[in-house]
Amino acid sequence: MAVPTLTAPPAEVAPSSSKRPGRHGWTALRYAALIGAALVFVGPFVWIWISSLRDSTDIGRDPFGLPTELNWENYRNAFVTGRFGSYLGNTFLYVAFVVPLVVVLASMAAYALTLVRTKVTTLLFVLILLGVMVPFQSIMIPQYYVVRDLGLLGSYWGIIVPALALGLPFGIFLMRAFFLGLPGELRDAARVDGAGELRVFWHVMLPLARPGLLSLAVFQFMFTWNAFLIPLLYGQHENLRPVASGIMFFVGEYQTDRAAIAAAVTLTCLPVIITYLFLQRYFIAGMTAGALK
């Protein structure tokens, strides 16, 4: 009697990569699109940086050429002749006042709105959100009269106070999202241990919200550094101009010196780029928190 033999089923043949040409093609296409987008965004910065090291005559003859020799004199002209050093000093002054004050005050207000959840605080938070939704162009004229009546027009405080007022609504919105994501059990445990509410805020909740604080600091730094209309409307003096409004007058006065203008633009954008490169993960975390909470 013959014994039947069992034969193993034929092994499945792995699909050859040659049968899936579309997958590799789409991957290459995506990378090509990303590289193209990167070149579109980075290209103008590289062109400005190269132009800042060239001579104005060479730029007029060949705008997209490379420098035959590095002309660092353009930066000296921008600092000294164009008074751009004073513009940078004013900008750092505004940043030094506005950014820390917005971070501290927005954190305290957001924590209070998170701690007390009533109809009144909800209504108050909605009113605060109006400061985010209403564009500055809609309130700049009434705010001008407020600044004038307070006697702040044409002074450093005339720029710092409105920038602080405009930065707080977004700061409160962002920090409230971070505080809502923190576990309330930690706050309750600190209270059981005898900590007061202020101590709970400073020593327990605020350290846990460090990513939110850094995110808000990055956002506010960019807003303050690039502020244009507030110094233009409320500063009204050349010695109060920051870099954003100073660039406009700089271009008007030195429109033939393209190399010096390129050097001034380079000095303006480099601090923002460096700040973003070092703190980009907190920047992204802030955008995510604002979208999810």
Please, what are the domains in the chain?
84-292 (1.10.3720.10)
Residue 20 has pLDDT above 80, yes or no: no
51-60, 159-168, 238-247, 267-276: which is most confident: 159-168
Averaged pLDDT, 107-132:
87
18-32, 100-114, 253-267: which is most confident: 100-114
Range of weakest confidence among 109-123, 141-155, 248-262 = 248-262
Name the helix (H) or strand (E) containing 265: helix 258-292
Q: Give the pLDDT score at 4.
A: 52
Residue 124: CA count within 13 A, CB half-sphere: 13
- The conformational region for residue 73 under phi > 0 = left, psi -120 to 50 = alpha, else beta, is alpha
Averaged pLDDT, 32-50:
85
Distance set, CA 184 to CA 111, 181, 189, 191, 201 (Å): 12, 9, 9, 11, 12
| Sequence-distant (≥ 6) Cβ neighbours of residue 60 within 8 angstroms | 258
Averaged pLDDT, 11-22:
52
Confidence of residue 1 (pLDDT cuts 50, 70, 90): very low
Averaged pLDDT, 198-209:
83
pTM: 0.78
Instruction: Give the whole-number percent of the chain exceeding pLDDT 90.
Output: 17
Confidence of residue 293 (pLDDT cuts 50, 70, 90): very low
Q: For the purposes of burial, counting CB atoms within 10 Å of the CB of 180, is it exposed (0-12), middle (13-18) or buried (19 or more)?
A: middle
Token duo for residue 286: 């802030």
What is the four-CA torsion angle of 115, 116, 121, 122, rounded to 10 degrees?
70
Residue 248 has pLDDT above 80, yes or no: no
Q: Give the pLDDT score at 268.
A: 85
Average pLDDT in the chain: 81
Q: Give the pLDDT score at 180.
A: 85
Q: Give the pLDDT score at 7.
A: 55
Distance in angstroms (rounded) separating the CA atoms of residues 122 and 113 = 8
